[in-house]
Structure 1
Amino acid sequence: MAQDSRQAGTQLWGRPPVEPPVRALDDVDQALVHALQIAPRASWTRIGAVVGLDAVTVARRWNRLTEAGAAWISCYPAPVLATAGEGLLAFVEVDCANGSLLTVARALAEQPHVTAVEHVSGDRDLLITVLAPDLAALTRWVTQGLGSMTGIVATRTHLASTVYTEGSRWRLRALDREQIARLADLEPTRGEAPVFPLTDMDHALMAALSTDGRATYRALAETCGASPDTVRRRLGRLFAAGMFQTRCEVARPLSEWPVTVILWGRAAAGQLETVARLVTGVREVRLCAGVTGRHNVLVVAWVKSLADAQRFEVRLNERVPDLEIRDRAVALWLMKVSGHLLDERGYRLGAVPLDVRSAGAVAGG
């Protein structure tokens, strides 16, 4: 099975697998990752001051991790955009014809509006996360693009009505309270600034930051054809309104929670908010969203093992008895996460720049 997995990785991403140069995170690496989860774009000088190292050392440490695909920083449209009517988020289950899963996964992963592709266990082959500017664009893509793609047998689309928590809030928990507080002070204040329509420049900034969430203002300016000061001001406004969300990720084998569990559940309409609030308080939970369809709650959690997946469901049921779990799956291979392509072990191989607008440009397969 290990040999099949290595061959699958070669087939899917077009490069032979190699042994990861980083097999474990030491205490300094863990502190650095945790710091960047809190303040992804803070300067190395400030990050170093908190973790007790000089700027050169922390920058060198981070470069080592990123070059190994062990950690990376992404950026993506925040849920507030969908809430304000500036786009939407959908989860699509995909059933593949025999022998076509890798071909379908590759085609989906190459699409800029498909932020995540997961090979999962259970009653579907793939679970994908899709961004679209509006319902019309999503419908057009699902029916004409996805619907005509060779190798797909059936799809089921679930719209996200509300995202109660998502991965950017998850922490490695390697720092103490005082360090966390100092880093939190470095992050821009997200006040009550209203959401505004995204411009072409905003989309260009999103595409660039989605592949490298720490890209400098100068590099972003060159990409967008603007001055660094203009980029700085624009990003300041986007982050202040909570429209862009940065996230520091770590390769799953390097965390204490290498197994991803996906649960579909149902709560009474009048209890959905209360249920969601209780679910988001569970440490293992990475995502909790209200969805449309035969289920109205989607939960994604990280757990320590397959055995722990069952124990997690028991713990969740005890904490949230009003949530009825109706279906479950385990991610066999996280192929794409927030635009970043991963090998079968969870290490980063590359990225596809995100572009929510591409869902409106149908391209069949």
Structure 2
Amino acid sequence: MSHMQPESTIQADVLDGLDHQLVTALQTSPRARWEQIGAAIGVDATTAARRWRRLTEAGHAWLSCHPAGIGPVPPVVAIVEVDCTAGSLHQVAAAIVDDPHLITIDHVTGSRDLILTGVFPDHSALARYVGLRLEALPGVAATRSQIASAVHAVGSRWRLDRLAPDGREALTPDQPGGGAVLRRGLSSADALDHHLLALLGEDCRTSAALLAERTGASPSTVRRRLDRFHRADALIYRCEVARYLSGWPVAVTLWGVAPPDATARITGQLIAQRETRLCASLSGPHNLLLTVWLRSMEDMSAFETRLYARFPELTITDRAVTLWPLKLAGQILDPQGRRIRGVPVSFWHDPAAERTEEDLIRRLAEPRDPVPGRLPGTPDQA
């Protein structure tokens, strides 16, 4: 194990090597005790906790978690592209940034203005959101939606990888090492489960003792529930760092077309790429979506060249560079990618949209005469 290191002052726009080790340790084991985190990076527990507090207060790094899905049916993950009228992009973004089911919102280059990643309980909820919420907003010119038939990798699996091997071995990962996002989740949940999930969404490092105090359950009951969450892979933990401080300041989303019989092989290798943050199979004409973090804009051409060399059957059909990651895993960010505040992740529920849908269904249920100008019930003329 490395020897104890002195704490240095965190500069406004620079993270040093110890900061990167700290973030990597918390990415590996978000709920580890500060004594474990400190031992993994070579400092004492007090120093590790104090340094993390300063990082979070500056918005440079943060921890979060949210449920992976509750219920017998896996959630629907959708990618929605939004075109905005001139001058309305920020108005639209401000209107939807608190929608709890939107995991990410990116302002991007190219033939769309915003890319949204959302989670819905079913297809009808997606239709309701797009048709009765998004497209009704002032400033929205058009939308295009695709459903992720499989999500192979997400950013919660991405690591800075700054820990030495002995530091990694000192920590027990809080989640399995696989890449799948459409997880088992919880087939059912009671009131205590929901209360615990809500509290963990506020602070995923809350101890079992404090969770017990706040829920009124016994510590042993809380620990059993936490073990159940972890066994079911029902929580997605995120430890993120502002992208401009991560060493990977450029985010690019790529759309591609792969032969159906080659998709599994290609995605299996793409999720192992160091740059990959998101990899999903889509329902539309572009059946593969890939989001990568790169060291520089110059790396984009080199990355695509490597893709073509490795997967000649894969055709990249479009690409977009993220200009402002407005929302990342439920956290609202400034243009530099620093955290401003969090939005608890949950399914969207809008009584106004539901009433509008009910009115539409009632109108659809009323028969209309197919001949213009003829009164209902008038017989055909010979």
Q: Smaller-chain TM-score range?
A: 0.7 to 0.9
How far apart are the structure 2 equivalents of 1:122 and 1:199? 45
Q: Indicate if the aligned counterparts of 1:131 and 1:359 stay in contact, CA closer than 8 A.
A: no
How far apart are 1:200 and its partner, in Å? Answer: 4.7
Alignment-derived partner of residue 159 in structure 2: 171
Of all paired residues, the percent bearing the same amino acid is 45
> Is 1:65 aligned to 2:52, yes or no?
no
The alpha-carbon deviation at position 232 of structure 1 amounts to 2.9
1:348 is displaced (CA, Å) by: 0.5
Cα distance in structure 1, aligned partners of 2:14 and 2:346 = 33
Name which of 297, 305, 308 aligns with 2:299.
308
Q: Deviations over 1:289-327 (max 9, x none)?
A: 111112111100000111212221112222222221111
What is aligned with 2:168? Answer: 180
Secondary structure of the corresponding residue to residue 148 of structure 1: coil
**Partner-residue secondary structure (3-state), 1:331:** strand
**Residue 67 (structure 2) pairs with residue 77 (structure 1):** yes
* Aligned equivalent of 2:117, options 129, 132, 138: 129
What is the TM-score of this pair, normalised by structure 2?
0.82
The yes-or-no answer on 1:209 pairing with 2:200 is yes
1:180 Cα deviation after fit:
1.5
| 2:95 corresponds to 1:104 | no
Aligned equivalent of 2:21: 31
Work out which of the residue numbers 322, 325, 339 in structure 2 matches 1:334. Answer: 325
Shift of 1:193: 8.1
Measured in 2, the distance between the counterparts of 1:213 and 1:346 equals 21
Q: Which residue identity does 2:110 align to in structure 1?
A: G
Distance 1:363 1:42, change over 3 A: farther
Q: Quick check: which one's helix share is greater?
A: 1
SS in 1 for 2:299: helix
Cα deviation, residue 49, structure 1: 1.5
Deviation at 1:158, TM superposition (A): 1.0
Contact 1:207 1:354 in 2 (8 A): no
Q: 2:333 touches 2:340 (CA, 8 Å); kept in 1? A: yes
Q: Is the 8 A contact 2:275 2:293 kept in 1?
A: yes
2:70 and 2:187 in contact (8 A); partners too: no
CA distance in structure 2 between the aligned counterparts of 1:168 and 1:83, rounded to whole angstroms = 22
Q: Aligned partners of 1:363, 1:95: CA distance in 2, in Å? A: 21
Paired with 1:117 and 1:58, the residues of 2 have a C-alpha distance of 31
Larger Rg: 2
The 8 Å contact of residues 190 and 242 in structure 1, kept in 2 or not, is answered as no
Superposition deviation, residue 229 in structure 1: 4.0
- Mind listing any 5+ residue stretches in structure 1 that lack a counterpart? 1-19
State the 1:86 CA deviation.
3.0
Higher relative contact order (CA 8 A, sep 6+): 1
What's the TM-score once normalised by structure 1's chain length?
Answer: 0.86
Residues 77-126 of structure 1, C-alpha deviations (whole Å, 9 max, x = no match): 33xx4996232211100011111111110111111111111100001000
Structure 2 spans left out of the alignment, 5+ residues: 1-9, 355-382
